[in-house]
Structure 1
Amino acid sequence: MKLKFCFWMYLLMMSCQVLKVNSTEKKKFKLRISGGQAVNSIQLPYVVALLSHTRYICTGSVITPSHVITAAHCTYTRQASELFIRAGSSLRKSGGVVVAVSLIINHPSFNSKNMDYDVSVLKLLQPLTYSQFIAPIPLANQSHSWSPGTPALVSGWGFTKVGQTEDSRELQATMIELKNAKICDEEFVPYTLTPRMLCGGLLEQGKNSCKGDSGGPLIINGLLAGIVSWGAETKCGLLGVPAVYSNLPVLRPFVDIALKI
């Protein structure tokens, strides 16, 4: 009961922080989740579904009216002409607004073999109109770092349990915590984490991101700290199994450049 109360209090705090940023922006501009709970777009107005034509493929986050951030492994084999985002809806197949992607900006050093530099910025064909259902999430900067045990919020439309055959149709979110990189290194031998990666999960309760949550946000203290990247698809959400997230503070210089393109 205590964990559930903390989860909803954290969501309430997050909503207030994002909506506050939304108000400021208006004046300026006129995990795949296992063990999570359903949430709506007022609680997490920055989360969007990434579509290939009409098919859901990944999760993303609004960072400006014209930009969404996601994982490079979601986009590196695709053309901008096939991609769309659905914003302002907790359902990946309906509601909100659908906007076409005009440009894919993958990190030039992205490595599909070890998932290093797994970040992509998408430029939208038309800017989003901010509301209580659509708002940006502030980005962590290069000065941010967090110790193991730091709580974080992850969200997405991915699988909610091992063995599932279809992604969740309703947005899910859960609280996890950062872990020492050695935990992921030991779990995913022979792969090892690079400085561009974070290890996370609530391992004692089997809560984490899962297949289909790729590109989704990892939020710490109201900031986008990471992006759902990779893990053990056949074991996600099992007790003791971590997942890997792109480390946004380290990747922030690329994002800043991409926003100017």
Structure 2
Amino acid sequence: MVNLKPPRREVNCIVGIMHALHQFLLFHVLTCLGQNAHGSVIIHGKKAPENSMLYMASVQNSTKKHVCGGFLISENFVLTAAHCDDEIPTSVVLGTHDLTKADDSMRYSITKFKNPFYKGVSYGNDLMLLKLSRNVGLNDRVQTIPLPKEEINMKENVECSVAGWGYTKTNELDQRIVDELRVVDVSIINQNICKKIWGGLPDNVICAGGYETKKGFCQGDSGGPLVYDGVAVGVVSFNYNRNCSYPHFPNVYMDISKYLGWINDTLKKKKYLSKGSSSTQDVAGSQDKVDGYQLVQIKLCCIKRIDLTALIQQVGRPVAIMHGLYKFLLFHVLAFLGRNELGSAIIDGKKAPEKSMLYMASVQNENGQHVCGGFLVNNNFVVTAAHCDVKMEKTKVVLGTHDLRQVEKTVKYIEKLCKHPFYNSKTQENDILLLKVGGKDNWKYKGQPIQLSTSEININEKCSVAGWGCTECNTVGELRVVNVSISNWDVCKREWPGLPTSVICADKGLCKGDLGGPLVCDGTAVGVASFYKNEKCDAPNVYTDISKSLNWINKVLKQNNC
């Protein structure tokens, strides 16, 4: 039998390194990413009847403030949304509709178990189980709610209900959390219609309310249940841009029936691994562990010229002991520290031929400095990256020239910013921004739109990427272009742990000068330059896959608005 237990001295050394790495990564992630509140609440609802919905739970933080909804599914588990963990919940209150009447006997401390595949709201899998510190005594104030017994597909127009505490108004100065539980009826929306309206959706969701109605949820109470015929069928997940005036976008819930296996497995577990971890745990299937710790093979590259790989190798072990959280943090630090303020640039490229690539756009700040690339997709819209620091009143777009130093060119102002509704600033998923531009064209120097790809790209296909910026850190004013090949997805994932699924990877090309520009294959734009690794710029570059967002893009272009 193979002995997987490493010598104690090496374990202590590696754990010490991982602890320091954790602090380093956590500091940069909090600094770079900041915090973002989530939640849902009930709009145009009514006060819930006193003896109804006795399964409802108020998920609260350390100050005993309500941050999310939830619902009791067994005597010691509450189900809620995974993104509620962003609010750092510490307890659950059960047994009252009026939160002003909550006392310590109603409060339960919690251990959190996120769905192991949750990465962000726009990825889906937005579920979290909360194990209570003690069993709940079921009585005339507290009851569980049943879950579906098998996988189901909710039919269109079926009437359900959703309940929660939180705001009853949106975008108003007097909005505040309400103390008493409120409920509203909502109808199921056809899944195909919902996907078309949203321009794509995560897997395993239900759409209900918020479309052709003034009823639904809003900020304040995510994690609450969507209930049909006395059964919890969904968990409140997200709405459109936190706009609760319901701009014809359906509300979205996680479909509980698609996660019954994970939920039942978690409820049945008698022993939970907790060594070296926080109170939030990912409960998955079988995993390799040593003394209760998860084993993760890691490859650390240079972060600001700190070679942590060499440091780990000094202890003589190829496998580092590292909680899954570190992988998550590591990806974001690499992504954010690896991004240069100016965007991306072209390495080992050549000057772009005159009269070619007339779709290329330079997004510039108020001082006329190039900050990001972009590309013209029709006479009114330019595509760039959502992470680019674009301010409508201070940014302009230059078209029709390869040489930014040239006096004659077309300069457009920005009329509207249309950011992808699923853009995630933490993961850079759906890193696409549409700029509606106005102003007259210079008849001699005007842009020509490029077509967008309608299908996914093939591995090893030859493509090109162009941009302004620096080559080996020498600033250039002329457009440069380089040929690139599409990289294997598995290879790219090894370089970028936790990579979003809606991206394309390609070798070399981008570095220090021009993110937002197009990845072009066979004369069509297939990707938007999103991020790269800094310093050597020798890892696969990452582009947002245009085909995955095509429905949303076409909708904006057709409406000439967003």
For Structure 1 versus Structure 2, the TM-score category normalised by the shorter chain is 0.7 to 0.9
Aligned twin of 1:216: 224
Structure 2 counterpart of 1:63, from 70, 73, 85: 73
Q: TM-score, normalised by structure 2?
A: 0.38
Q: Which residue number in structure 2 is paired with residue 185 of structure 1?
A: 195
1:258 corresponds to which of 250, 254, 266: 266
2:54 match: 45
For residues 57-99 of structure 1, the C-alpha deviation after alignment (integer angstroms, 9 at most, x for no partner) is 1000011111100001102674xxx511111111234336433
CA contact (8 A) 2:165 2:182 kept: yes
In the TM superposition, 1:13-162 aligns within 5 A as 31-53=40-62, 54-75=64-85, 78=88, 83-95=90-102, 97-112=105-120, 114-162=122-170
2: CA distance, partners of 1:222 / 1:93: 27
Single out whichever of 95-104 and 205-214 deviates more from structure 2: 95-104
Q: Does the Cα contact within 8 Å between 1:156 and 1:173 map onto a contact in 2?
A: yes
CA apart distance, 1:100: 2.7
Q: CA deviation at 1:113?
A: 5.0
Q: Tell me the distance in 1 between the aligned counterparts of 2:197 and 2:100.
A: 34
Correspondence 1:228-247 to 2 at 5 A: 228-238=236-246, 240-247=248-255
Between Structure 1 and Structure 2, whose CA radius of gyration is higher?
2
Cα distance between partner residues in 2 of 1:213 and 1:33: 8
Tell me the SS of whatever aligns to 1:159.
Answer: coil
Q: CA deviation at 1:202?
A: 5.8
Letter in 1 for 2:71: S
- The letter for the 2-side match of 1:209 is F
Go from structure 1 to structure 2 and tell me whether the alpha carbon gap of 1:138 and 1:113 turns closer, same or farther (over 3 Å shift).
closer
TM-score, normalised via structure 1 length? 0.80
Structure 2 residues without counterparts, runs of 5 or longer:
1-39, 270-562
Tell me the secondary structure at the aligned position of residue 122 of structure 2: coil
Q: 2:226 aligned with 1:226, yes or no?
A: no
| Matched AA of 1:95 | A
Cα gap change, 1:258 to 1:93, in 2 (>3 Å): farther
Matched to 2:178, the amino acid is S
Q: Cα offset for 1:215?
A: 0.2
Aligned twin of 1:14 = none
Pair 1:173 & 2:180 matched: no
Q: Is the Cα–Cα contact under 8 Å of residues 210 and 217 in structure 2 kept in the other structure?
A: no
- How many residue pairs get aligned? The number is 226
| Distance of 1:118 and 1:64 partners within structure 2 | 19
Structure-2 separation of matches of 1:122 and 1:73:
13
Distance (whole Å) between structure 1 residues aligned to residue 241 and residue 138 of structure 2: 34
Sequence identity (%): 24
Q: Structure with the greater relative contact order (CA < 8 A, sep ≥ 6): 1 or 2?
A: 1
8 A contact 1:41–1:133 mirrored in 2: no
Contiguous gaps of at least 5 residues in structure 1 = 1-30
Shift of 1:48: 0.9
d(CA) in 2 for partners of 1:146 and 1:34? 22
Distance 1:198 1:160, change over 3 A: same
Deviation at 1:209, TM superposition (A): 1.2
TM-aligned CA distance change 1:193 to 1:141, over 3 Å: farther
CA RMSD of aligned residues (A): 2.0
